[in-house]
Amino acid sequence: MSSSDIPPFTPSEFKYTAPPNPGWRFGQRIEETAEGRAWMEGEKLGWKTIDPSAEDPSKLYFLLVSGIVPRPVAFVSTISDTGIENLAPFSWFNQVSSFPPVISVSCTRSADLTRVKDTLNNIKSVRGFTVNIISEPWIQQANICAIDAPDDVGEWPVSGLTKEPSIHVKPARVKESAFSMECELLQTVDILDPATSIASTTLVLGTIKYIHVRKDMLDERGNVDPGKLRPIARFAGTLYGRVSEGYRITRHAWQDAEPDVRRVVDGGPKT
């Protein structure tokens, strides 16, 4: 599809639908639905099996970031020990624990392993940072902050985003973000290049000290409503995705499901 064929972005309401195959029964195989059969057709073309240790690192990077999707994006605000402020997006990001509340962000070095990201240097020296969840209305402002600008060009003024002072950590949070976390460095883990033993990537674990959430994002239970937050998802390269539809699937409890599960697995309930 050429860029002139791509329709414009239109904000849309978050829509709930029924899940795929809503009538699924315990033990039902994928071939029992037309969609499942169509999915398995592709498997007839065979498999490509990759040994990461024998793969070109840049090809491996693109294969992994296109396969491990969709990723959430942490928009990280940091400050250096001399007071230089920094903003950058990171999609090797997730929550790793809720009690204590801990998140992870992973920072790569440059391909020749010489350049460490300012974000990592700042987190290590100041030990505090903020993670701001990006919403569709300000994705452009966040995306520009991945620019490889020289040190004297600050991302805040280029982005047009607004600093909101944090209450526990030194760097500001982003006012436009409807869900921000003030984090304290818990631990860093260096991932070593097997040939040189130099860190190629550093995993940062941060303890969440404060959460700031906009009241209009909350549902009646006090949780964030995805339709209001309008978060973004990241695929490989420059591709972002939308979260505009959702469906619920029952989480079965053994207590209720046991007879039905046993009927399928053992051919009938055990007495």
Ligand X SMILES: Cc1cc2nc3c(=O)[nH]c(=O)nc-3n(C[C@H](O)[C@H](O)[C@H](O)COP(=O)(O)O)c2cc1C
Closest by CA to 231, choosing from 88, 97, 75, is 75
- Closest distance of CB 53 from ligand X, Å: 22
Nearer to ligand X, 63 or 259 (CB): 63
Q: Which of 108, 95, 26 is nearest to 65 (CA)?
A: 108
Please tell me whether residue 206 binds ligand X under the rule CB under 6 A.
Answer: no
Residue 57: is the preceding peptide bond cis (ω within 30°)?
Answer: no
User: Residue with structure tokens 């414009």?
Assistant: 8
Query: Do 232 and 239 touch, CB atoms closer than 8 A?
Result: no
Asked whether position 79 contacts ligand X by CB under 6 A, the answer is no
| C-alpha span between 72 and 211 (Å, rounded) | 17
Nearer to ligand X, 236 or 261 (CB): 236
Tokens of 191: 């991932």
Which is nearer to ligand X, 91 or 180 (by Cβ)? 91
From 85, 104, 118, 130, residue interacting with ligand X (rule: CB under 6 A): 118
Judged by CB under 6 A, the residue of 77, 79, 85, 89 near ligand X is 89
Closest approach of ligand X to the CB of residue 199, in Å = 12
173 is an interface residue for ligand X by CB under 6 A: no
Among 117, 170, 212, 230, binds ligand X (CB under 6 A): 117
Q: Is 230 in the site for ligand X (CB under 6 A)?
A: no
Min dist CB 232 to ligand X, Å, is 8
Helix or strand (DSSP H, E) at 258: helix 254-265
Distances (CA, A) of 69 to 205, 237, 260: 21, 12, 33
Side-chain half-sphere exposure of 113, counting CA atoms within 13 A: 14
Residues 174-203 touching ligand X, rule: CB under 6 A, are none
Among the candidate windows 22-30, 82-90, 168-176, 179-187, which touches ligand X by CB under 6 A? Answer: 82-90
- Binds ligand X by CB under 6 A, chosen from 77, 91, 130, 177: 91
Q: The tokens 């990592």 sit on which residue?
A: 120
Amino acid at 54: A
User: Which residues sit at the interface with ligand X, rule CB under 6 A?
Assistant: 73, 86, 88-92, 106-108, 117-119, 143, 146, 148, 234
